[in-house]
Homo-oligomer: A and B are copies of this chain.
Amino acid sequence: MGHGGGGAMSAELVEHLFLPAYGSAAAPELGDSAVLDLGAGTRLAFSTDSFVVKPMFFPGGSIGDLAVNGTVNDLAMSGAVPLYLSCAFILQEGTVLTELGRIAQDMGAAARAAGVRLVTGDTKVVDSGSGDGVYVNTSGIGVVPEGVRIGPRRARPGDAVLISGDIGVHGVAVMSCREGLEFGTAVESDTAPLHGLVAALLATGVDVHVLRDPTRGGVAASLNEIATASEVGVELVERDLPVPESVRDACSLLGLDPLQVANEGKLIAVVPGESADQVLAAMTAHPLGGGARRIGTVVPGHPGMVVARTGLGGTRVVGLPVGEQLPRIC
C-alpha cells in the first residue's frame, strides 16, 4: 500500500522501477504534470491521475469531484489554463448504475464549474471480485500562458512559503466517514478547482517560483519534493500552520501529523520574500484563498530537508511520509 501513498515509497518506485524500465522513452522528471513545447510558442501542460478513494461519496464531495478537480489542479500548478479532460472508468461488475450516474453528474458539474470540457473517454469493466466500485482516471491538457515559468526547481533562499488555507481537511473528511473511523466531526472535504486562484496570483505580476497542491502525503510531501528538486532547505513555523481544531483532534487520536494529511483544495506558493505580502493580499481576496498565510521560508541550509520550528523554540524534521498513512484518500 505504501507505494501508492505519495510518500517516500512512491518516489522510490518512480526512481528505481519506472524510470530505469522506461529508459530513454521517459521524460527525466516523470512528475505529476509535464510542460511540453509544441513549437510556435505553444506550451502545453499534460497531467494524469487515477482516483480510487474509498468511500466514493464523502462529506463535501465524491470521487467524481476529486477526479475533475484533482487533474485541473495538477495543470494549474504549472500555471496552465486547464482546457480539456479525458475520463476513463474501470467499473467492477455489478456496480450500481445509479451510483455511476451520480459520479458522472458530479464530474459534469465540477467540469462546468472549472470551465473545462470532457472530450474523450473509455470504460472498462472487470469481473466481480477484481475491483471495488469505481476507479476513475482523468488526464488533462491546458495551455501555459507566455512568460509563466513555474516549476519545482525554482525555489530560492529567501523565498516565502505560503499556504492558501486550512490544512488536512480532505483527509480527515474522508476518514471521518470510513467504516470504523467515525469521529463525530462535521469536517467536509475542501475539494475545489484552484486555477482561478492561480490566475489571481499570477495577475499580481509577481514572479511565482513554485506552486503545488499538497494532496497525498500532504504539505510535508510537497515541501520535501520542492526542497529536493530546488536543492534548498525549508523552514516552517509550527504556530503559523493553519490546522483547524477538528483536524488537530482527529490527527492526535490517530497519531497522524496534520502536515502529512491530504488536501484537495489548497495550494502552496513559493514566491520571492519581498513579494509575499502582495501575493497574500491577492490570495485572501479570492474565495478559495480566504485563509491564506505565510507558513515558512526557503533557506540555504540543510538542502533537501524541511524543518519546523516548534512552539518551544526547537526544530523538528518534517519528513516525507514513508509509506501510506491514509490509504485510498484520493
Contact = CB atoms under 8 A, between A and B. Distances in A.
Interface of A: 1-5, 10, 13-14, 17-18, 21-27, 30-34, 36, 38, 40-42, 44, 46-52, 83-84, 86-91, 93, 97, 100-101, 104-105, 107-109, 111-112, 116-127, 129-132, 135, 137, 139, 141, 143, 324, 327-328
Nearest to A2: B125
Nearest to A131: B131
Contacts of A108: 21-26
Given A30-B120, A32-B122, A90 B139 contact: no
Q: Chain A: interface secondary structure?
A: mixed
Copies in the complex: 2
Contacts of A42: 38, 40, 42
A60 B188 CA distance: 49
B127 A46 contact: no
B1 A34 contact: no
A57 to B, nearest CB: 15
A121 B14 contact: yes
Contacts of A50: 88-90, 122, 124, 137
A162 B121 CA distance: 27
